[in-house]
A and B are shown apart, each in its own frame.
Chain A
């Protein structure tokens, strides 16, 4: 469709020839604006060659002149032979066998007529490297879509028809299609179908390449795919759809593995020459090495995946990354627990919590406001136990406005160990906030306050263990 814009849309309404011209011109690369579009209003003969539209007017140009003799409303289709022709035009096109051998040959085949035939065949198969060449010296310019403007009209027709049918689905990425067809000889079917598959993904790439996007979504548009030569080669990367790229990567991996296997085989063979015992040992060692390598690769893969899951993880070494993963998981667990408790407690807020309202209003969070037995803890977190703090709230709530901090406190505490009991909960409130702060947007100044409070708490094994975990964290990060 896009290509169609280039051309006067009005043309569509016009006779076939005009349409064909517009189509063809749009399809090919050097979309020379259909120059002659306006010339006669009607008939515009576009000579499409090698991706370039050589505009042919109605002027009495001999060579390229399309059989303007026909000069009927249906302009000589021969011009379109090499051009992109729409399906509906096929019939009209077919009706006009090539009359101008010269015409065609000049355009497309510099060679003699005899060679033209071959050339045309080749053209269909090969991909013209440069679309811009007007007279493509090589027959390759005649891509499959151009059904033979040349000598053996019939033959070309065959190609075209064959190709045409396949192009129907193409529409999107011409270049890929072109590429494919170029590779395959005029058996358009496999090429186009293959191209079609890859086309789906690569449409944009193709366009970028200047390739003629076949599909301009016109059904049955035969695209003259004069794909630039580079497309042919570099195509896979540019045109390759995502799947193609993935397959390429997979292929590379496969090749690596194969290479590894090959070297293994070779080594094995070499070893066999030395002697059975050494061979066995070396073989075993090799097998071991290989399995070890695979195992490490798998682990590294998983580590990378894990690193992606952890927010703001910029650690490069394994140990610190694992540390962060552990901290993050704990904080997540804590967060979930708190939120689920909040969900469950909300309806019951007014029943037993009134005394703690003021504190809650300060945004202290549920864990501070609850002085009653917490709901049954989730399986992995005895966190609620910790909430049953015996301490009076006010001292704690002086923090005021640190709801997140409060929340992180328990998490940090939790991080140190998994078993809480109310008595030791106070000890937990030494806030080693740092590890968790990175997971939450906490104010950096908050922690110190907690630490002050923590000092007043009796140190317990929990505290030491939490400190230890902090040391652990510090150590790994330092």
Chain B
């Protein structure tokens, strides 16, 4: 990919950011998003990918919050000196 990019940039001259580059990134995003990964088609529009990305990130945020809550509850139920507590704390500060 790096070689591809460098050749691409050489071709595009001044602009280092080409459309191909952006579409590559969009494809990568698409692969990360479970919803869109199944489609694996090239027809997914960039706008849709971006929209799904935003939704997905929001979902992830929500999950992180939920897990943090659970972990803090767990932490409350353990001794502060235990290794468990240390682990939980490290996870929470992640």
Contact surface of A with B, Cβ cutoff 8 Å: 295, 298-299, 302-303, 305-306, 309-310, 317-319, 322-323, 325-326, 328-330, 332-333, 335-336, 338-340, 342-343, 346, 349, 353, 357, 360-361, 363-366, 369, 379-380, 403-404, 406-407, 440, 468, 471-472, 475
Q: What are 29 of the A-B contact pairs (CB < 8 Å)?
A: A298-B47, A306-B50, A306-B53, A310-B57, A319-B25, A322-B26, A322-B28, A322-B29, A325-B29, A329-B53, A332-B60, A332-B61, A336-B63, A338-B94, A342-B87, A343-B67, A343-B71, A363-B86, A365-B87, A365-B91, A366-B87, A366-B91, A369-B87, A403-B90, A403-B93, A403-B94, A406-B90, A468-B2, A471-B2
Q: How far is the CA of A471 from the CA of B3 in the complex (A)?
A: 11
Residue of A nearest to B46 (CB): A299
Query: Are A299's CB and B90's CB within 8 A?
Result: no
Q: How far is the CA of A353 from the CA of B82 in the complex (A)?
A: 13
Query: Are B22's CB and A329's CB within 8 A?
Result: no
Q: A379: which B residues are within 8 A, CB to CB?
A: 34
Query: Are B90's CB and A365's CB within 8 A?
Result: yes
Q: Quote the shortest CB–CB distance from A84 to chain B (angstroms).
A: 50
Query: Are B74's CB and A343's CB within 8 A?
Result: yes
**A-B residue pairs, 9 tightest by C-beta:** A403-B90, A302-B50, A322-B25, A339-B67, A332-B60, A319-B17, A360-B83, A342-B91, A298-B47
Q: How far is the CA of A468 from the CA of B24 in the complex (A)?
A: 15
Report which of B46, B47, B83, B93 forms a contact with A357, defined as CB distance below 8 A. B83
Query: Are B1's CB and A339's CB within 8 A?
Result: no
Q: A318-B22, A328-B57, A365-B91 are in contact. Are A339 and B29 (CB under 8 A)?
A: no
Q: Quote the shortest CB–CB distance from A420 to chain B (angstroms).
A: 15
Q: How far is the CA of A159 from the CA of B52 in the complex (A)?
A: 56
Contact surface of B with A, Cβ cutoff 8 Å: 1-2, 5, 16-17, 21-22, 25-26, 28-29, 32-34, 45-47, 50-51, 53-54, 56-58, 60-61, 63-64, 67-68, 70-71, 74, 78, 83-84, 86-91, 93-94
**Residue from the set B64, B83, B89 with the largest chain A CB neighbour count within 10 Å:** B83
Known pairs A329-B57, A346-B87, A440-B94. 10 more at Cβ < 8 A? A295-B47, A299-B47, A319-B25, A322-B25, A329-B32, A346-B88, A363-B87, A369-B87, A403-B90, A406-B90
Query: Are B94's CB and A309's CB within 8 A?
Result: no
Q: How far is the CA of A89 from the CA of B94 in the complex (A)?
A: 67
Report which of A306, A319, A339 forms a contact with B21, defined as CB distance below 8 A. A319
Q: A403: which B residues are within 8 A, CB to CB?
A: 89-90, 93-94
Q: How far is the CA of A357 from the CA of B83 in the complex (A)?
A: 6
Report which of A306, A361, A369 forms a contact with B57, defined as CB distance below 8 A. A306
Q: B70: which A residues are within 8 A, CB to CB?
A: 343
Q: Quote the shortest CB–CB distance from B25 to chain A (angstroms).
A: 4
Q: B74: which A residues are within 8 A, CB to CB?
A: 343, 346
Q: Quote the shortest CB–CB distance from B23 to chain A (angstroms).
A: 10
Query: Are B67's CB and A336's CB within 8 A?
Result: yes
